[in-house]
Amino acid sequence: MATTTKHAIGNWDTFHNNGPFPTKVLYKTSLEGKGNMPSLIDRYNDAATEIQRLLKDALDKQEGFRAYGSAWSMNHVAHQKDNMHFNAEMNIKKAILDDEMHTASTFKRENLFFVQCGNVIKEIHKFVFDHGKSLKATGASNGQTIAGCISTGVHGSALGVGAVQDWVVGLNLIIGPNPEDIVYLERHTEPALNEVFAGRIKARVIRNDGLFNAALVGLGSFGFIHGAVIETEDRFLLKRYVKKINKDLAVELSRTLDFANSGFTVPGETDVNGKGNTAFHYKVFINPYVNDPEYVVEAIYKKPYVAEYPDPLPRIKTAIYRDLIILFTKIAEKYKNSIPKLIKVLEKSVLPAVDLEATGTLAEIFWDAPYQGPAYAIAVGVDHTNSGKALELLTRLAKDEGPIPGIYAMRFVKQSRATLAFTQFPITCMLEIDGLIWKAKKNKIISMEQFCKRTIEVLQANNIPFTIHWGKTADWSFPGLVQYMYGDKATTWKEYRSALLGEKGAKLFSNKFLEDTGLNEFIVNTSPELVQSIA
């Protein structure tokens, strides 16, 4: 039997201390030992039974229940006041067997894997690499769980691929304590696995594009994600360049993403006519307090896999232009106890000059995140054609109404089909501000809450459509925020959620974050077709 330990914790906090949040109980479920239960599917189903037992307990007590992963979300999206479940020890992974493929599937069997919710990206990297495969895209590092990534829509390493949920092709949810509450969802237009597979995990199948797209970025509120079927591709390498380039050029390229006609080219990364190749990933780093004529940019290009290449990690470990928070904490290291001094340093110093090159796999280039202290991260998504304008507005906000201890970056991601993906524009520019949590009164500067509120107001006042990363710092109670960002899509999401979970289930998987955003609304009398397979 899978075993669950129960801890009366009193308070729960995120990895970067964006809480604490009062919490009664933390559960941690460990799988049955392999020696006692050698079949991987048996262990998976055994864990499902245990989760259903916990869900029944919570329902009986009329309490809420929420699964969480690595607690990397920097707000209260992963928090629930009654029962929180730590998933990371639920980490079964398996390749897909021939007899599990749907006859109409267009996926290659060898590219598909089934992974349990608590697998962190790093262990999935290794597992698929050992099968000759690579993940398609991740965030800037590797410590999140797969379920955590899907639930908030983690993006960041690949411009042309999309976010993590965009390579998920099947979802196994547990929505309650009964046998029919184990469901396996897929798109009806893109079936992947068949009833044999579903039978093995004791799930009823629903193939329905609308439901699947809604459940993907489910904010922890669409049931317990027990497992996901993911699509990988053949191994590849990435060549990463970090350079300082003219600021206008960097911003112009962000706006057009037209690498072929940009003045920014990297020697060796051009076609036969000398035109720039499209980068796999493009990122711009900005210190808002300095009028530097140059910005640091990171451009990464995809290469065929070869077994022999210099190990990129020793260089990456000392390199600071990786994750924005790494860069910031390197600058802030000496001044973290004095925010005014830190701001003075930011006002004086431009971002360090750099000219780096490194080659590695996706797992190596987007490796471990080394910072463990308190931090915030604000991330708004805008259409990339609005990136220059949004950057100008939000850097001006920091200068005029700040300062705040943080620096900026922009990353770019292809549109997602997930209903509530914040990567909803044809190409979304994620404009990010990362830094150290500060006390407004003590440092006599604007508060984090006020700055977040002003971010929304400024973008609204300038008619720039935007989204906000679900796992980051924001004024989530801002009136009408979600409706403003997603319009009808927010209603669609609520309808599918209500139809799938029913009223009791919707309450069970709700939390304060959902209430703050208004997404907890239960919609009565939804059409049963929302949760039926479409032929």
Residues in contact with another protein by CB under 8 A are: 7, 9, 13, 15, 26, 28, 70-71, 86, 88-89, 91, 93, 120, 122-123, 125-127, 313, 363, 370, 372-374
**Nearer Cβ to another protein (140/351):** 140
Question: Quick check: 170 binds ligand FAD (CB under 6 A)?
Answer: no
Token pair for residue 480?
A: 């009408």
**Nearer Cβ to ligand FAD (27/72):** 72
Q: Which does 21 bind (CB under 5 to 8 A by kind): ligand FAD, another protein, none?
A: none
**Angle of CA points 113, 118, 123, to nearest 5°:** 60
> What's the closest the beta carbon of residue 289 comes to ligand FAD, in angstroms?
23
Report the alpha-carbon distance of residue 114 to residue 146 in Å, rounded.
11
Q: Which does 363 bind (CB under 5 to 8 A by kind): ligand FAD, another protein, none?
A: another protein
Token pair for residue 273?
A: 């006519």
Report the alpha-carbon distance of residue 430 to residue 377 in Å, rounded.
12
Report the alpha-carbon distance of residue 406 to residue 435 in Å, rounded.
4
Report the alpha-carbon distance of residue 323 to residue 247 in Å, rounded.
20
| Site of tokens 């000398």 | 274
**Nearer Cβ to ligand FAD (70/419):** 70
Report the alpha-carbon distance of residue 301 to residue 277 in Å, rounded.
8
> What's the closest the beta carbon of residue 135 comes to another protein, in angstroms?
14
**Nearer Cβ to another protein (60/130):** 130
Question: Quick check: 238 binds ligand FAD (CB under 6 A)?
Answer: no
Question: Quick check: 72 binds ligand FAD (CB under 6 A)?
Answer: yes
Q: Which does 473 bind (CB under 5 to 8 A by kind): ligand FAD, another protein, none?
A: none
Judged by CB under 6 A, the residue of 27, 111, 139, 358 near ligand FAD is 139
What is the SS3 assignment for 235? coil
| Cβ neighbour number for residue 242 with a 10 Å cutoff | 20
Pairing of strands 83-86, 66-68: parallel
DSSP 8-state class, residue 260: G
Question: What track of x and - describes contact with ligand FAD for positions 87 through 106 (by CB under 6 A)?
Answer: x-------------------
**Nearer Cβ to ligand FAD (105/145):** 145
Report the alpha-carbon distance of residue 345 to residue 227 in Å, rounded.
46
> What's the closest the beta carbon of residue 379 comes to ligand FAD, in angstroms?
7
Nearest to 371, CA basis, from 340, 336, 346, 402: 336
- The footprint of ligand FAD on residues 443-462 (CB under 6 A) is none
270 - beta bridge partners?
A: 276
Report the alpha-carbon distance of residue 420 to residue 172 in Å, rounded.
19
Question: Quick check: 220 binds ligand FAD (CB under 6 A)?
Answer: yes
Site for ligand FAD, rule CB under 6 A: 15-16, 66-73, 77-78, 87, 117, 139-141, 144-145, 147-149, 151-152, 154-156, 219-220, 224-225, 323, 325, 369, 469, 471
